[in-house]
Structure 1
């Protein structure tokens, strides 16, 4: 039962497979149902309607025979003679006068049980049209009407034929036909479901192939499906053309960002240098001029950092970002980074690590850039009286660096997107705090380029934990 529930939960009621299966099964049901109804009607024609016609013919003929025999003998003898001449196997006739007394009947009633015979004879009227009725586990075709003789109604005529064998056969055939039709519909539905599943396999392959394509794969991404229908192959070719256009657009965008960042960084660096030079001679400046120049220098410095970040990302996307991967001791690196952070902030930064020396293969300067970025974020987005904690430890074949802060925290719905470029969670993460929305994206790019991974865990009002994992050397 649990297995069935799991399979049922995996079924998508809006999928093409389910829709096609239901549609074809519905048409199959309609077709087989119509065939079953026609077959049932035909069987009834063959098995039952001939008996109805027979007793209807007897009911029509008996009054004429009574008139003929009554002319040659007494009415009572003519009536009985007419009844005896019309009876055959399983056919029973009787006549009741207006006082509901039997005045004539066929002489084959011993073929029926006493209970069935008495119940039939107790009937006071019958339909003029033959009908099938069940009496004491047996089936009879009943037909009746008045018996007029020479303008006078002699009584009521009752004609009955036992069709138990035929009706039982008919009902058994109807039941068997219903069961067989249901089984055929189920088998057809299951076969159709498997066939459709197999037919849609190329589409699923196409879907799986497109799922794993990333921006880095665009230049070489090609979808190819063997033994697929022509329509699916055409769809794959269309996808390939789309991927080619996306690759060209992506490459043009990266080239544009790289060129713009490179071309703007040099003149802005010169401008920033001139501004710093002028600020060093601030004795000749008015307070207004000094404030304007300090603002311009700050903005120039911020823009240079932004352009450098964009240039690093563009180089990483193009595969041109250079790394010097060498063995480095994380303990020394963390101490150096925390010392550098103390120069720019008076925040308390605590290092928690074991006495064990942890060595990894990484780019020392890039890893230092990553840690400075994370510590800078922790300082910016937490209260001034709370410490920032840097933990260093080794788990199996991985070295882990964790940066803890007791800041505002990051909402759960944003945690999966904070490593995206230019993504900011809220108004607290804007340019007033020096953020450009690229810091965490660069952290992720640099760490993954060195064979590691970075993740975040955060709760609102409690702070955040950024974890860097690197393979040990």
Structure 2
């Protein structure tokens, strides 16, 4: 029974809050909002003070006129009657007056009078807003002196309901306009920032999509961009050209060295093997030394072969003979080869249908043999190795082992060149650290995909995916 392996967790690259767009938009929007909000609050405070200041002028006018009118009436009638006549002359439905003598008794009041107003005992010129019966009143009290003699307190109440409604409406309109302006401003700023950062996104796209053999051919033109962006693009282009030249030199050196060393090493390996076969008079120590030399020479030749394959793939010179193959039949052939030389039983699990794909037959065999060889090397003796063939919009080939497994942090690195999970173990098994790198390169070249899921001490599943051919 095949084991189950948990899929790897996928991780997000960066938190979106770290985006330059969001930071700039949020920062500018916050400053703009604070600025417009501050202006709106200042206008609110200013309008309220203006409303109160206007009514203060009326209070001051009445305070200056009232004693003079009372004094004129007092020459003809009594003081109380003079105060009442003066109040009646100044009163209307929006301005109400009442007078309290020194004993705090109301001795005169307007015809339009509300008893609720008498609850106000504030005796100063600072108006106080009082609300009742859905009306707003501005009330204040002032001391009244006639002929420089204090006679009581005059209270003035002004109906400011209409002004209050107008003021509230203005504040609501101002609030709405402020919110609307901030919203439009944020949208405009976000759009402008997105437009301004498009050149940087283009640079990122170029950097992400460029391949090694295209480094010297990259051209980044930003004629209408800001000077800083153009300078960045020019610097990046020069850097890519330098990297392209270095890459070409490195590939040329690798290619030349591999070609130059492969032939003499092959000859050396042949002579060593011939000497070992005919060395009847050699001591056991000499035979052991020759065996080690042959093994290392063969290993070095294989390393050079791998390097040449990678160099050809990097330069786009790898030769592929694409043809239609039936995976089921080819996989039986591969298993027969492995079982003949490895003395191991491999379980083939397949659906009752032919799986057809278009690949290079020899390269596909190389990929499968490499993966099966890895499964055998890193599996304990008598552990099950299986190959599973399925279809799900694609051809899926899985090489499954129950070996030592690969730690999760290392699973993304095993396809890197010269990377080894266990350096000592790979050295003992003759690994060069290039096998899986070549497999991945060949798979990608033939429009396929390769992935791995694994658990330590439970095994690994290498999955090959290729497009199906009807």
Alignment TM-score, normalising by the size of structure 2:
0.82
- Write the deviation string for residues 64-112 of structure 1: whole angstroms up to 9, x where unpaired: 5545654665433443455455556732222112322112234xx23x5
| Equivalent in the alignment of 2:426 | 430
Cα offset for 1:175? Answer: 1.9
State the alpha-carbon separation in 2 of the partners of residues 82 and 357 from structure 1.
114
Cα gap change, 1:400 to 1:105, in 2 (>3 Å): closer
Cα offset for 1:177? Answer: 1.6
Are the counterparts in 2 of residues 404 and 463 from structure 1 also a CA contact under 8 Å? yes
| Equivalent in the alignment of 1:97 | 101
| Equivalent in the alignment of 1:403 | 399
Residue from 19, 23, 29 that aligns with 1:25:
29
Cα gap change, 1:322 to 1:151, in 2 (>3 Å): closer
| Equivalent in the alignment of 2:44 | 40
Q: How many residues align?
A: 456
Cα gap change, 1:31 to 1:328, in 2 (>3 Å): closer
| Equivalent in the alignment of 1:215 | 212
Residue from 239, 244, 248 that aligns with 1:247:
244
What RMSD, in angstroms, separates the aligned Cα atoms of the two structures? 3.5
Q: Does 1:13 align with 2:10?
A: no
Aligned pairs (5 A) from 1:385-424: 385-391=382-388, 395=391, 401-424=397-420
| Equivalent in the alignment of 2:304 | 307
State the alpha-carbon separation in 1 of the partners of residues 422 and 178 from structure 2.
64
Cα gap change, 1:210 to 1:322, in 2 (>3 Å): same
Q: Does 1:290 align with 2:287?
A: yes
- Write the deviation string for residues 230-275 of structure 1: whole angstroms up to 9, x where unpaired: 5544443333222222212222222222222223333333333343
| Equivalent in the alignment of 2:116 | 119
Cα offset for 1:186? Answer: 1.9
Residue from 416, 421, 441 that aligns with 1:445:
441
Q: Does 1:59 align with 2:63?
A: yes
Aligned pairs (5 A) from 1:71-82: 73-82=77-86
Cα gap change, 1:185 to 1:446, in 2 (>3 Å): closer
| Equivalent in the alignment of 2:174 | 177
Cα gap change, 1:326 to 1:36, in 2 (>3 Å): closer
**Higher RCO (C-alpha 8 Å, min separation 6):** 2
Are the counterparts in 2 of residues 402 and 466 from structure 1 also a CA contact under 8 Å? yes
Are the counterparts in 1 of residues 123 and 143 from structure 2 also a CA contact under 8 Å? no
| Equivalent in the alignment of 1:384 | 381
Cα gap change, 1:301 to 1:53, in 2 (>3 Å): same
| Equivalent in the alignment of 2:457 | 461
| Equivalent in the alignment of 1:3 | none
Cα gap change, 1:324 to 1:202, in 2 (>3 Å): same
State the alpha-carbon separation in 2 of the partners of residues 364 and 191 from structure 1.
58
Cα gap change, 1:144 to 1:464, in 2 (>3 Å): same
Cα offset for 1:382? Answer: 0.7
Q: Does 1:147 align with 2:144?
A: yes
State the alpha-carbon separation in 2 of the partners of residues 241 and 385 from structure 1.
57
Aligned pairs (5 A) from 1:247-286: 247-286=244-283
Cα gap change, 1:204 to 1:56, in 2 (>3 Å): same
Are the counterparts in 2 of residues 456 and 464 from structure 1 also a CA contact under 8 Å? yes
- Write the deviation string for residues 416-437 of structure 1: whole angstroms up to 9, x where unpaired: 4322212223457521222111
Worse-superposed segment, 68-77 or 296-305: 68-77
